[in-house]
């Protein structure tokens, strides 16, 4: 059985790391944190925000609704309130498709 590396995920991400993931300013991350009650970062003794993977997943959903689908913040909040499970399901599908895409790109590169 071949050795397969396990992907190590961090427990907490700083606001700078989250902003870099989405290619946005840290001020937008702070603003969305205030606007969406599902984003609940922990704060260390200095007051620095520490985001969990669940927060990152919620940011992905919010980013998709606001930046990619063009919804207003009010519309995105309502969508999250009414159909959060549906949006989480769509996000999981998109995440799986992106992983498949990455795997296919690796296979393609190995064939060249």
Q: Taking the CB of residue 71, how many other CB atoms lie within 10 A of it? A: 16
The number of C-alpha atoms within 13 Å of 44 and in the hemisphere containing its C-beta is 9
pLDDT at 7: 60
CA dist., res. 95 & res. 74, Å (int): 25
pLDDT higher for 81 or 60? Answer: 60
Domains and CATH numbers, the chain: 13-111 (1.10.1660.10)
What pLDDT, in 10s, does the model give residues 6-64?
A: 565 788 999 999 999 999 999 999 999 999 988 889 998 999 999 998 899 889 888 98
The number of C-alpha atoms within 13 Å of 18 and in the hemisphere containing its C-beta is 28
CA dist., res. 83 & res. 77, Å (int): 10
φ, ψ dihedrals at 46, nearest 5°:
-80, -15
pTM to 2 decimal places: 0.67
């Amino acid at each position: 059985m071949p050795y397969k590396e396990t992907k190590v995920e961090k427990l907490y991400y700083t606001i700078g790391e989250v902003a870099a993931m989405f290619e946005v300013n840290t001020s937008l991350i702070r603003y969305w944190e205030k606007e969406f009650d599902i984003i609940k970062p922990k704060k260390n003794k200095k007051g620095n925000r520490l985001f969990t993977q669940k927060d990152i997943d919620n940011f992905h959903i919010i980013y998709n609704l606001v930046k990619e689908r063009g919804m207003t913040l009010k519309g995105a909040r309502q969508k999250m309130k009414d159909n959060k499970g549906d949006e989480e399901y769509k996000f999981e599908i998109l995440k799986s498709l992106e992983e498949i895409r990455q795997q296919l790109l690796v296979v393609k590169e190995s064939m060249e």
